[in-house]
């Protein structure tokens, strides 16, 4: 789908999710052939002509002004994250960039320093496409203990959190409310795809997940967007059992595409005790490996 199609598909999807009663329109019992609002109803709410809005949704025109986009966003009842996404799609539609093979991402030195100095909190660093660029020992043990800990060191074969959530049975079992995690992953990928329509690696990942996961395909077609900032998840860890973690995602001004994802628990809670138990078990396993002569995997896991 090209940039014109992305903008139109988003508008159409969000229009279909609004009912006349949601926006105060009377229907008088009329039978509707399509779900949600009609194009002319949305155009009326936005204060633009029906023909103009139709051209915009069909991809014939993509030169909507900022004022028109804001009016359409209000009519669609978009939140701030969704409004930014709409603007990104409109910008991409107007200024289509050259498609090129995107390079593999490199861990920023400053972000790497943070990971190396955080030991008591599980940490994972993800890039634009949800590739794992780094993790500390506890972050690896909590979220992907069955995956090679040295994976982030190899750009061509890095673990990818979106791929793990949708295609890996162990990760699916880890999340007690897997559908909530799945929606968050797709919502974030939607945002990134709107900002970087020229990223061929991202397009390839989305194509793979759409083909291999019916759940992903259904969620992707919904066009929901969501920023990954703070969320709470109940995990069913294979070693320490159930625990609830608060996931916080931090980004820096110098490296906005690299997210430092930290998992914390409530002090004194059963979840906190479970995380401490996992930390001790991880430290013991690492120490045992060192006593026997450290393997490359153990050394890299400690250094990351």
Neighbours of 144 (CB within 10 A): 21
How much is the pTM? 0.80
Q: Is residue 34 located within the same domain as residue 138?
A: no
The pLDDT score that the predictor gives to residue 18 is 85
Q: Is residue 145 located within the same domain as residue 259?
A: yes
The pLDDT score that the predictor gives to residue 24 is 76
Q: Is residue 279 located within the same domain as residue 205?
A: yes
Q: Is residue 144 located within the same domain as residue 247?
A: yes
Domain assignment of residue 100, yes or no: no
Q: How confident is the model at residue 113 (pLDDT cuts 50, 70, 90)?
A: confident
Domain assignment of residue 104, yes or no: no
Residues 156-192 have pLDDT tens digits of: 889 999 999 999 999 999 999 999 999 999 999 999 9
| Of 181 and 27, more confident | 181
Q: How confident is the model at residue 151 (pLDDT cuts 50, 70, 90)?
A: very high
CATH number at residue 215: 3.30.450.180
Q: Is residue 140 located within the same domain as residue 61?
A: no
The pLDDT score that the predictor gives to residue 295 is 38
Of the residues 33, 66, 94, which one is the last residue of a structural domain?
Answer: 94
Q: Is residue 65 located within the same domain as residue 202?
A: no
Domain assignment of residue 77, yes or no: yes
Q: Is residue 71 located within the same domain as residue 151?
A: no
214 φ, ψ (degrees, to nearest 5): -60, -35
Question: Is a pLDDT exceeding 80 seen at residue 123?
Answer: yes
Q: How confident is the model at residue 63 (pLDDT cuts 50, 70, 90)?
A: confident
Question: Is a pLDDT exceeding 60 seen at residue 112?
Answer: yes
Crossing angle between the packed helical segments 296-303 and 270-291, to the nearest 10 degrees: 140
Q: How confident is the model at residue 100 (pLDDT cuts 50, 70, 90)?
A: low
The pLDDT score that the predictor gives to residue 293 is 33
Mean predicted lDDT score pLDDT of the chain = 85
Question: Is a pLDDT exceeding 80 seen at residue 127?
Answer: yes
Question: Is a pLDDT exceeding 80 seen at residue 88?
Answer: yes
Which residue bears the tokens 């969501």?
226
Instruction: Report the distance separating Cα 81 and Cα 301, nearest Å.
Output: 36
Neighbour-count burial for 189-203, b at 16+ CB within 10 Å, e otherwise: bbbbbbbbbebebbb
Question: Is a pLDDT exceeding 90 seen at residue 254?
Answer: no
Domain assignment of residue 169, yes or no: yes
Positive or negative CA dihedral for 223, 224, 227, 232? negative
Residue 80 is part of which domain span? 3-94
Give me Rg for the CA atoms of the chain: 22
Three-class secondary structure of residue 138 per DSSP: helix
Question: Is a pLDDT exceeding 80 seen at residue 265?
Answer: yes
Which candidate, 262, 256, 139, places its Cα nearest to that of 191?
256
Q: Is residue 215 located within the same domain as residue 253?
A: yes
Residues 136-150 have pLDDT tens digits of: 999 999 999 999 999
Q: Is residue 31 located within the same domain as residue 180?
A: no
Q: Is residue 133 located within the same domain as residue 85?
A: no
The pLDDT score that the predictor gives to residue 5 is 80
In this predicted structure, which of 42-46, 106-110, 247-251, 297-301 has the lowest mean pLDDT? 297-301
| Of 93 and 234, more confident | 234
Question: Is a pLDDT exceeding 70 seen at residue 296?
Answer: no
Q: Is residue 146 located within the same domain as residue 250?
A: yes
Q: Is residue 71 located within the same domain as residue 136?
A: no
Domain assignment of residue 101, yes or no: no
Domain assignment of residue 42, yes or no: yes
Domain assignment of residue 103, yes or no: no
Q: How confident is the model at residue 304 (pLDDT cuts 50, 70, 90)?
A: very low
Of the residues 51, 70, 94, which one is the last residue of a structural domain?
Answer: 94
Q: How confident is the model at residue 292 (pLDDT cuts 50, 70, 90)?
A: very low
CATH number at residue 50: 1.10.260.40
Instruction: Report the distance separating Cα 34 and Cα 257, nearest Å.
Output: 38
- What value does the mean pLDDT take over residues 250-266? 88
The pLDDT score that the predictor gives to residue 299 is 31
What is the tally of structural domains in the chain? 2
């Amino acid at each position: 789908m090209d940039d014109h199609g992305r903008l139109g598909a988003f508008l159409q999807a969000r229009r279909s999710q609004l009912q006349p009663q949601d926006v105060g329109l009377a229907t008088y019992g009329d039978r509707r052939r399509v779900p949600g609002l009609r194009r002319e109803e949305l155009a009326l709410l936005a204060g633009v002509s029906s023909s103009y809005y139709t051209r915009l949704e069909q991809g014939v025109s993509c030169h909507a002004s900022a004022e028109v986009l804001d009016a359409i966003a209000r009519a669609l009842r978009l939140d701030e994250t969704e409004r930014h996404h709409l603007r990104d799609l409109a910008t991409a539609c107007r200024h289509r960039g050259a498609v090129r093979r995107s390079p593999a991402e490199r861990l920023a030195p400053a972000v790497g320093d943070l990971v190396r100095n955080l030991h008591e909190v599980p940490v994972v660093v993800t890039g634009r496409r949800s590739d794992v660029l780094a993790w500390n020992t506890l972050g690896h043990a909590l979220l992907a203990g069955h995956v090679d800990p040295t994976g982030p060191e190899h750009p061509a074969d890095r673990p990818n959190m979106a791929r793990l959530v949708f295609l890996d049975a162990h990760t699916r079992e880890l999340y007690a409310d897997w559908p909530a995690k799945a929606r968050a992953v797709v919502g974030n990928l939607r945002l990134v795809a709107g900002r970087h329509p020229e990223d061929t690696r991202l397009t390839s990942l989305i194509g793979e997940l759409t083909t291999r996961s019916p759940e992903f395909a259904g969620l992707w077609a919904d066009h929901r967007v969501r920023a990954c900032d703070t969320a709470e998840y109940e995990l069913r860890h294979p070693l320490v059992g159930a625990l609830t973690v608060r996931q916080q995602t931090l980004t820096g001004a110098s490296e906005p595409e690299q997210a430092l994802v930290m998992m914390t628990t409530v002090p004194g809670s059963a979840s906190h005790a479970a995380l401490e138990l996992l930390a001790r078990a991880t430290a013991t396993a690492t120490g045992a490996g060192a006593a026997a002569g450290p393997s490359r995997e153990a050394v890299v896991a400690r250094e990351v």
